Amino acid sequence: MLSNNELSLQDVKTNKEFNLERFFNISPSILCIASTEGILKKVNPSFSKLLGYSIEELTETPVSNYIHPEDRQITSKLRHDISKNIPMINFENRYITKAGNIVWLSWTSIYEPEDEVIYAVAKNVTQTKELENKRNLLLIELTRLNTELKQFAYTTSHNLRSPIDNIISLFGLMNFPKIEDPETLKYIEVFYTSVLQLKQTLNKHIETLGTEKKINVDLKSLNLNNTLNIVKESVNELLKTSKATLNVDFKEVPNIKFSSFYLQSIFLNLISNSIKYADSKRKLIISITSKKVNNKPQIIFSDNGIGFDMDKVNGNIFKLNQTFHNHQNSKGIGLFLVKSHLESLNGSIEVNSKVDVGTTFTLTFNE
């Protein structure tokens, strides 16, 4: 027969077990007891309800069957660490429900060496993860939009250089002594000063702008001759001053699907580049042709300028702020933009050059 003290102790133990069991069953948190091999010994109804499997199903098969395939290896490793008395705190992994949905759980687990089991508690953080993903997507979109604005400003500023140089060249052709009207001469001088200031402002603006390479642009079928003519008009005076000869043949591929803004920028920068690095010992000849290779349109742009040493350049020709000649107007931007425009629309550019012979650019478009 048990004494009163023994009865009281037994009641306490029974009540304690009852309370723990009740807590286990009604807890909204996920509670489970598992072996170090990853077999669930006991799970509470919250776990069963979340995954959509019965308690019997969950305890009859390895827990890895319910873990997302990409998370199984790291989960197994951490479970091994726990068995060495290394607690696991706030470890997140994915489970796949019976309905095929993915849920994120955040686990805190500890090893109990006496029974050789792992006690674990988890909370459902799926909603938090979804909010994080939405936030990250918004940040990516904001970054993209900011990059596009910077790229647009950068490209526009750089492409304005050649038309401004064109205007400056016109001033060089003017015969100022023949202008007899003082007021007219004054206005011309003011205009000339303003143009020089504008060029200086553009240069400073470009230097302060960073850039990325992709802008969301509209693609349409472009006539190569028409696009090139637009650019030629904008640099007409530079072409005249340089006395360059343009040999153009777009018969094989007269049209391409591309961004009008980008293609004009590409032509503008390549022509300006050829004029800038013309060889003073011979007349500048620029050749622009089109063809198809492996069912992809190509534009071959070549000149007989001063060229450069391919070994010394070592792949840096298209990098930002890279210059390889001591030309006063070299900024290391034009070819960077050409490559950026092409690659942003899955195209590519290759270059071959030889000192005192000239340079050839091969532009491949991905329609």
Q: What CATH number does the domain containing 340 carry?
A: 3.30.565.10
pLDDT of residue 365: 96
DSSP alpha helix (H) spans, the chain: 4-26, 45-51, 55-60, 72-82, 126-159, 161-173, 182-208, 224-234, 236-242, 260-276, 310-313, 334-344
pLDDT of residue 2: 42
Q: What is the dihedral of CA 71, 77, 78, 80, to 10 degrees?
A: 140
Q: Do 149 and 118 share a structural domain? A: no
Q: Do 295 and 164 share a structural domain? A: yes
Q: Do 155 and 103 share a structural domain? A: no
Q: Do 254 and 214 share a structural domain? A: yes
Q: Do 111 and 151 share a structural domain? A: no
> Which of residues 74, 96, 124 is at a domain's end?
124
Count of structural domains within the chain: 2
pLDDT of residue 210: 46
Q: Encoding tokens for residue 108?
A: 């805190």
Q: Do 105 and 155 share a structural domain? A: no
129 domain residue, yes or no: no
Q: Cα(43)–Cα(33) distance, rounded to whole angstroms? A: 6
First to last CA, the chain: 94
CB-based contact 58:48 (threshold 8 Å): yes
pLDDT of residue 7: 37
Q: Do 101 and 41 share a structural domain? A: yes
For residue range 67-89, list pLDDT tens digits in order.
999 999 999 999 888 888 888 89
Type of residue numbered 162:
S
pLDDT of residue 357: 92
List of the chain residues with pLDDT < 50: 1-14, 16-17, 210-215, 321, 325, 327-331
Q: Do 151 and 105 share a structural domain? A: no
Type of residue numbered 143:
T
Q: Do 148 and 101 share a structural domain? A: no
CATH number at residue 105: 3.30.450.20
Q: Do 148 and 32 share a structural domain? A: no
Domain limits for position 17: 4-124
Q: Do 291 and 165 share a structural domain? A: yes
41 domain residue, yes or no: yes
SS3 assignment, position 101: coil
pLDDT of residue 205: 62
Helix (H) or strand (E) holding 67: none
Q: Encoding tokens for residue 248?
A: 């153009």
> Which of residues 70, 92, 124 is at a domain's end?
124
pLDDT of residue 125: 93
Q: Do 162 and 105 share a structural domain? A: no
Q: Is the dihedral of CA 341, 344, 347, 351 positive or negative?
A: positive
Q: Which residues pair with 40 in a beta bridge?
A: 34
Kindly calculate the radius of gyration of the chain based on its CA atoms and give it in whole angstroms.
36
CB-based contact 224:254 (threshold 8 Å): yes
pLDDT of residue 274: 92
pLDDT of residue 212: 43
138 domain residue, yes or no: no
